[in-house]
Amino acid sequence: MAYSFDPNYPQQARQTVLRGIERWNQVLGDCLPLQPRRAGDRDYINVFNGGGCFSMIGRVGGGQALSLSVNGCVYRGTVIHEFLHAAGLIHTQKRPDRDNYITIHWGNIVDSWKSQFTKESSRDIGKYTDYDIYSIMHYSYRHPSWSINNRPGFTSKIPNVDYSRIGTGDDFTQSDVLAIRRMYKCPARKFNTIVNNNNSNNRNGTKDRKPILCSNV
């Protein structure tokens, strides 16, 4: 996949995004490499400083917008998450089989955010991997943006789940990689997960726990 940066995208944020791209290519470079846009590339991902963190799902053609706002989106995990959207992955909690693994508490979710939890019956992501509640594509079980009074938006049916790990990873899981490899018909290959201290997303050298959240657009 070809990518470019909007000319006005800040240089410091750009370096963090490039570290996320570097990690992508370490893991998926033999299957679906991210490469700087070249002359003649008609289809490419254009990273810009928009009003949040968001991407289209899969290739749409032309200059495809991928927003990584400098105000809250420039973390390695978020970079990987949004590029996985561009590659074709949906949020895990939207999988058609999700009711086998989690229970959605609709009354605890702000109305304008409920679309982030509706099932995508038309998507075939479920055929690539088993449900992975720790996927980098899964939302955390609560978040200030959409949780009413900080109540959980879902609970797990999977025993012994560590809720602090859901939606807070900053690296691929094995199932994230397997989904892309199967989607793009690449050979399966295991990799070593790299987790920063405290399972954190790093930005400008700081370490703090940041749940991944796509903007509700």
Q: Binding site residues for Zn(2+), as ranges?
A: 81, 85, 91
Neighbours of 23 (CB within 10 A): 20
Maximum separation of any 2 CA atoms in the chain, in Å: 51
State the DSSP string of the chain. -EEEE-TTS-HHHHHHHHHHHHHHHHHHTTTS--EE--TT--SEEEEE--SSEEE-SS--SSEEEEEE-TTT--SHHHHHHHHHHHHTPPPGGGSTTGGGTEEE-GGGB-GGGGGGGS--TT--GGGTS---TT-TTSPPS--TTTBGGG--SEEESSTT--GGGTT---S--HHHHHHHHHHTTPPP--------GGGPEEETTEEE---------
Residues carrying an active site annotation: 82
- Binding site membership: which residues? 81, 85, 91
